Structure 1
Amino acid sequence: MDIQIRASQGLRGTCWQVCLGKHQVNFRSEEEARQFVVTLQARVQAPHPLPNEQRLAS
């Protein structure tokens, strides 16, 4: 997953954006943006259980 953090100029001054492909999430500070990325990466890398094959056969 391509994740980028960048500063952006808005009506209220500089804000920070986390860019996930075409999606952008705005934050008030660089620290908030970086913490969001850490949380997001941890969730993406976490093990995800696959559906039970027996349940799919029913």
Structure 2
Amino acid sequence: MKILIKELATSRWQVRLDQHAVTFRSEAEALAFTKTLEARLLAPHQIPGRQQRTAG
């Protein structure tokens, strides 16, 4: 996923995620959103429907 941060106008910032765009009131808000998004994308994920067996 390509993430791009760009200044639209005074006091407006946009984070583009491929074809989706989210607008923020400050660069700090845009950067915080991007940092959280990247952390979630890089976090380990479990495959749905797959259960671990327990010994017993």
TM-score (norm 1): 0.78
User: May I ask how many residue pairs the two structures share in their alignment?
Assistant: 51
Of Structure 1 and Structure 2, which has the larger fraction of its residues in helix? 1
Structure (1 or 2) with the greater strand fraction: 1
Measure the CA separation in 2 of the matches of 1:4 and 1:44: 15
Shift >2 Å, 4+ stretches: none
SS of the equivalent of 1:24 reads strand
RMSD after superposition: 1.7
Structure 1 portions without partners, runs of 5+: none
Runs of at least 5 residues in structure 2 that lack an aligned partner in the other structure: none
CA deviations over 1:9-48 (Å, ceiling 9, x no partner): 3xxx440000011111000000000000000000000001
Q: Does residue 40 of structure 2 align to residue 47 of structure 1?
A: no
TM-score, L = length of structure 2: 0.81
**Which residue does the alignment assign to 1:33?**
30
